[in-house]
Amino acid sequence: MVKLSLTDWLRKGPPNSEIFARAIQLANKGVFEMAEKGQGMKGMGTTIAGILVCNGGFVAANVGDSRIYRIRNNNIEQLSKDHSMVALQVSMGLITAEDAKKSAHKNVITRAVGTAQTVEVDTRDEEIKKGDLVLVCSDGLSSLAEDKDMLDIINRCNDNLDNACEELIGLANFNGGDDNITTVLVKFL
């Protein structure tokens, strides 16, 4: 059996949301198979969020509660959808967004890479406008920082994205830092 890397899969055709989702599904299969065979790895999984720049825009893709935000015209907008117990409860009107932040179930995810043989990947095609920024982050940031605070840091450090990422991580650590904290910022010129 020939195994393809993400790069190999993306070379199969012009980049698009279907190819990006398929690449993540292949990664899911690899993680699942490793978890099934490896000692002490049963049930392991991870979240994923990323963007693929293509066709004058980008595709946002995610599984789990890692997030993708777009910053445009001094506004921050979450492009990804959380696959978590509290997000489901909020969507059903069972709890408020404020209640979700304090819920004992806030870290229970309903979809992850590697926990089942197959996984559904959410994708979203987006246009790019000059000056747009995209923030891709783990829940280690988004669960410990308010959107407005993230926006303030990004606006203040707009000319130095490395500093913005460091300050975002610093903010999450200051607010508790009880999980891994990953941040990536991309600016479209």
Per-residue pLDDT reduced to its tens digit, 17-71: 988 999 899 999 999 999 888 778 888 899 999 999 987 899 999 999 999 999 9
How many Cβ atoms are within 10 Å of 140's Cβ, its own excluded? 20
Phi-psi region of 80 (alpha: psi -120 to 50; beta: other; left: phi over 0): beta
* Domain regions of the chain by residue span: 6-187
State the pTM of this model: 0.90
**Could you tell me the fold of the domain covering 6-187?**
Phosphatase 2c; domain 1 (3.60.40)
Q: How confident is the model at residue 2 (pLDDT cuts 50, 70, 90)?
A: low
- Give the pLDDT of residue 1: 47
Specify the long-range contacts of residues 149-154, CB closer than 8 Å, at least 24 apart: 150/69, 150/76, 151/71, 151/74, 151/75, 151/76, 154/71, 154/76, 154/185
Q: How confident is the model at residue 16 (pLDDT cuts 50, 70, 90)?
A: confident
Q: Each residue of 39-52: b (16+ CB within 10 Å) or e?
A: eeeeebbbbbbbbb
Work out the percent of the chain whose per-residue pLDDT is above 90: 72
Per-residue pLDDT reduced to its tens digit, 142-153: 999 999 999 999
pLDDT of residue 161 exceeding 50: yes
Q: How confident is the model at residue 171 (pLDDT cuts 50, 70, 90)?
A: very high
Q: Specify the residue for token string 């979240």.
A: 47
